[in-house]
């Protein structure tokens, strides 16, 4: 991408499992937002052609980025004042360049070679096809009811950028079969989406089970939790009476267990509100989704998510070559404003990383050193 938010120009190598980390405000979400912006513009019918009606839709269902002035990187140069987002796949480059308009919330696409856009839409099915999920850091909180959107949850299988359609998606798709071995219940002959969701939620909270059903006479659905197994544990609880972390993690769990070959799943801070072991399990779940054929890009501050990924590499559940770890940090002053850079430690087959830049998951050591001093 060029001239997009935190970056004057930045390339980020994406693997089947990409982990983005770094200090606050270092550009991690910018990477996810660039992809979400393409997706949101495409879904609005604005990306498949180049004329006055095409462009980057800055404010929509996935991201609300403001106007041109908010998204164009401060230190652009007059030689290249435009905003570009490009994706390379199998050595082919697909590029969307949009003209800057200070107050515009639709940045008009500039000319591309004939056929470029339609080719890109065909060749990047994970970005533009079904199976795309983007879960932002600000997600649904425990509530008495959730929206019932047929269009989002049933027709498009979309969980919502805040996971707001998760409960309705579960209600509608709970009996779907999970075919991927990595996501199914061990030793079960078949696993439904609801069973797989329960199974992975139980890794976060032993004994929990989930019920998602409609509320008659309303356009809403409800979620409830049970604890314990079988009929003995039949008491059910509203999300508002259960720990915050469970509901906060549910969209992440459902996005991963519903992963299919070709899914692209973007996750911001999936570890939020989970206990440390739960965070490790969450990395295992994301690895299982990759084994099911999905591509995951996640932004995290969690040592446990990183270590979960490293353990999964060591155990052979994912190959080191299928992972990418990027550490974002801000550099000093650019020509104007600040800019960010990316350091990418390489993962070895035993889960070891080639490089531990300063500030990269080193707080344990920093604090211990001071404690032992």
Q: Which residues sit at the interface with ligand ADP, rule CB under 6 A?
A: 5-6, 22, 24-30, 70-74, 328, 337
Cβ at position 48, least distance to ligand ADP in Å: 27
Is the separation of the CB atoms in 288 and 183 below 8 Å?
yes
Cβ at position 86, least distance to ligand ADP in Å: 18
Cβ at position 24, least distance to ligand ADP in Å: 5
Any residues with CB less than 8 A from the CB of 113 and at least 6 apart, and which? none
Cβ at position 11, least distance to ligand ADP in Å: 15
- Pick between residue 351 and residue 359 the one whose CB is nearest to ligand ADP: 359
Query: Which of ligand ADP, Mg ion, none does residue 25 bind to, with CB < 5 to 8 Å depending on kind?
Result: ligand ADP
Cα 131–chain centre separation:
12
Cβ at position 28, least distance to ligand ADP in Å: 3
Query: Which of ligand ADP, Mg ion, none does residue 55 bind to, with CB < 5 to 8 Å depending on kind?
Result: none
Distance CA 81, CA 79 (A): 6
Which residues of this chain interact with Mg ion, rule CB under 5 A? 28-29
Cβ at position 288, least distance to ligand ADP in Å: 25
Query: Which of ligand ADP, Mg ion, none does residue 189 bind to, with CB < 5 to 8 Å depending on kind?
Result: none
Query: Which of Mg ion, ligand ADP, none does residue 24 bind to, with CB < 5 to 8 Å depending on kind?
Result: ligand ADP
Distance CA 90, CA 194 (A): 36
Is the separation of the CB atoms in 146 and 162 below 8 Å?
no
Distance CA 359, CA 24 (A): 11
- Pick between residue 34 and residue 180 the one whose CB is nearest to ligand ADP: 34
Query: Which of Mg ion, ligand ADP, none does residue 6 bind to, with CB < 5 to 8 Å depending on kind?
Result: ligand ADP
- Pick between residue 28 and residue 326 the one whose CB is nearest to Mg ion: 28
Query: Which of ligand ADP, Mg ion, none does residue 104 bind to, with CB < 5 to 8 Å depending on kind?
Result: none
- Pick between residue 6 and residue 19 the one whose CB is nearest to ligand ADP: 6
- Pick between residue 87 and residue 318 the one whose CB is nearest to ligand ADP: 87
Of 253, 224, 254, the C-alpha closest to 241 is 224
Could you give the angle at which helices 193-204 and 166-173 cross, rounded to 10 degrees?
130
Cβ at position 337, least distance to ligand ADP in Å: 5
Query: Which of ligand ADP, Mg ion, none does residue 178 bind to, with CB < 5 to 8 Å depending on kind?
Result: none
- Pick between residue 71 and residue 289 the one whose CB is nearest to ligand ADP: 71
**Region of 36 on the Ramachandran plot (φ > 0 left; ψ -120 to 50 alpha; else beta):** alpha
What b-and-e string marks burial along 147-179, b requiring 16 or more CB atoms within 10 Å of the CB?
A: bbbeebbbeebbbbbbbbbbbbbbbbbbebebe
Cβ at position 4, least distance to ligand ADP in Å: 8
- Pick between residue 1 and residue 71 the one whose CB is nearest to ligand ADP: 71
- Pick between residue 155 and residue 335 the one whose CB is nearest to ligand ADP: 335
Query: Taking CB positions, which residue lies at the least distance from Mg ion?
Result: 29
């Amino acid at each position: 991408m060029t001239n997009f938010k935190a970056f004057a120009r930045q390339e980020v190598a994406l693997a089947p499992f990409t982990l983005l980390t770094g200090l606050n405000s270092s550009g991690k979400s910018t990477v996810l937002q660039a992809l979400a912006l393409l997706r949101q513009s495409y879904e609005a019918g604005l990306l498949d052609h180049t004329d006055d009606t095409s462009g980057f839709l800055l404010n929509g269902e996935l991201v609300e980025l403001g106007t041109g002035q908010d998204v164009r990187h401060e230190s652009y140069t007059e030689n290249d004042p435009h905003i570009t987002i490009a994706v390379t796949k199998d050595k082919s480059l697909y590029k969307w360049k949009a003209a800057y308009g200070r107050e515009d919330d639709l940045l008009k696409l500039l000319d591309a070679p004939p056929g470029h856009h339609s080719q890109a839409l065909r060749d990047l099915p994970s970005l533009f096809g079904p199976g795309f999920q983007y879960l932002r850091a600000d997600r649904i909180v425990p509530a008495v009811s959730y929206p019932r959107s047929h269009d989002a949850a049933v027709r498009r299988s979309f969980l919502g950028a805040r996971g707001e359609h998760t409960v309705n998606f579960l209600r509608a798709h709970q009996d779907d079969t999970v075919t991927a071995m990595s996501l199914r219940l061990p030793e079960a002959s078949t696993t439904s989406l609801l069973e797989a969701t329960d199974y992975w939620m139980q890794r976060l909270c032993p004994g929990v089970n989930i019920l998602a059903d409609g509320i008659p006479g309303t356009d809403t659905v409800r979620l409830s939790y049970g604890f314990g197994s079988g009929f003995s544990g039949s008491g059910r609880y509203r999300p508002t009476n259960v720990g915050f972390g469970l509901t906060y993690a549910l969209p992440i769990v459902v996005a991963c267990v519903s992963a299919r070959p070709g899914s692209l799943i973007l996750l911001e801070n999936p570890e939020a509100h989970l206990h440390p072991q739960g965070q490790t399990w969450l990395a295992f779940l994301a690895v299982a989704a990759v084994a099911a054929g999905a591509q995951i890009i996640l932004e995290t501050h969690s040592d446990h998510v990183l270590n979960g990924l490293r353990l999964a590499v060591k155990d052979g559940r994912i190959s080191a070559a299928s992972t990418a770890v990027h550490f974002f940090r801000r550099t000093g002053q650019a020509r104007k404003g600040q800019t960010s850079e990316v350091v990418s430690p390489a993962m070895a087959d035993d889960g070891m990383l080639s490089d531990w830049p300063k500030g990269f998951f080193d707080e344990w050591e920093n604090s211990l050193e001071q404690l032992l001093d």
